[in-house]
């Protein structure tokens, strides 16, 4: 069991009280999914030091880069597509069932919140389980695309060395030779995961919905995000501006610490399942 000192226990107890009060908006990042086998970007299992991520401009303008992406993503889906929610996801879904959450925003694209039973998730960066045609806009299931890619590449036997949170993997270019990319079945257009690439902007309606949730919250609770990029940190800044308290549970350094009322540096899979349980909400001692 993860050991905490007295100060850490006091922080967790305080956080437990805030969650039990309700009106919590959760903002989750890649660190929440590490216990499901998906590495984060900048934490202990981080992949930020690896290759440069695909940008929207490169994906749409360079057929070779697009083929490289799909070959790597095809391998990465074997991990993303079979990942299962962990105890942290289950805890968040339970808080929602108890009526303690007023909103759930995620920067993740793995769909694990929904798989754990959460509803009405604002997926800032989309979801890898959906595929969009850039020409006609048709949305299709990733499972269908994976079946088509497998049929089009029966001899593709490359093995991924590592995987990133966006489903891309590290793979030597020599192993990409001959990989065939499939097109949209409706219009023969270019297919892309329905996620926000680097160089794209998050759809305005998602951002607006997220800001509205934050502004109506009693507590903004950040789970598993270093808040290094403005995509997530802007919601912390908005909460501070609106006088809404901010709590962060994350392993390692977070750029949100100067703005937070409470920071817990501890494993999410240990801390979160012990928060807002029935015994705690009725005055029993929190033990972690």
Asked if residue 23 lies in contact with residue 219, where contact means CB atoms within 8 angstroms, the answer is yes
Beta-strand pair 24-28/126-133: unpaired
Say if residues 112 and 41 touch (Cβ distance below 8 Å): no
Got the DSSP string for 88-147?
Answer: HHHHHHHHHHTT-EEEEEE---S-HHHHTT--SEEETTEEEEEEEETTT--EEEHHHHHH
Residue whose token pair is 């009725």: 282
Q: Which residues are documented as binding site for Zn(2+)?
A: 133, 136, 184, 187
Strands 121-123 and 101-106: parallel
Contact 246, 18 (CB under 8 A): no
| Both structure tokens of 188 | 């023969």
Nearest alpha-carbon partner for 69 in 128, 123, 125: 128
Mark whether 282 is an active-site residue.
no
Q: Which of 74, 89, 125, 282 is catalytic?
A: 125
Residue 68, by phi and psi: left (phi above 0), alpha (psi -120 to 50) or beta?
alpha
Angle subtended at Cα 163 by Cα 162 and Cα 167, rounded to the nearest 5 degrees = 160
Sequence-separated (6 or more) residues with CB below 8 Å from residue 147: none
Give the burial string for 150-185 (b: 16+ CB within 10 Å, else e).
eeebeebebebeebbbbbbbebeeebbeebebeebe
Annotated catalytic residues are: 125
């Amino acid at each position: 069991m993860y050991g905490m000192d007295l100060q850490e226990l006091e922080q967790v107890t305080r956080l437990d009280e805030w969650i039990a009060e309700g009106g919590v908006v959760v903002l989750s990042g890649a660190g929440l999914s590490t216990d499901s086998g998906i590495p984060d970007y900048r934490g202990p299992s981080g992949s930020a030091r690896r290759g440069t991520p695909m940008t929207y401009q490169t994906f749409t303008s360079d057929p070779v880069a697009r083929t490289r992406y799909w070959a790597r993503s095809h391998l990465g889906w074997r991990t993303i597509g079979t990942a299962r929610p962990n105890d942290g996801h289950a805890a968040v879904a339970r808080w929602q069932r108890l009526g303690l959450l007023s909103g759930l925003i995620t920067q993740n694209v793995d769909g694990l919140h929904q798989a754990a039973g959460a509803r009405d998730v604002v997926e800032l960066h989309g979801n890898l389980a959906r595929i969009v045609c850039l020409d006609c806009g048709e949305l299709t299931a990733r499972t269908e695309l994976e079946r088509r890619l497998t049929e089009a590449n029966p001899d593709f036997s490359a093995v991924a060395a590592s995987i990133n949170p966006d489903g891309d993997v590290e793979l030597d270019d020599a192993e990409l030779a001959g990989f065939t990319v499939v097109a949209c079945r409706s219009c023969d257009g270019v297919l892309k995961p329905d996620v926000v690439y680097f160089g794209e902007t998050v759809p305005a309606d998602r951002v607006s919905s997220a800001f509205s949730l934050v502004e109506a919250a009693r507590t903004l609770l950040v789970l598993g995000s270093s808040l290094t990029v403005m995509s997530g940190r802007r919601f912390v800044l908005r909460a501070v501006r609106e006088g809404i308290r901010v709590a962060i549970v994350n392993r390692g350094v977070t750029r949100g610490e100067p703005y937070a009322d409470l920071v817990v540096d501890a494993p999410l899979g240990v801390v979160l399942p012990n928060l807002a349980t029935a015994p705690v909400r009725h005055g029993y001692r929190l033990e972690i």
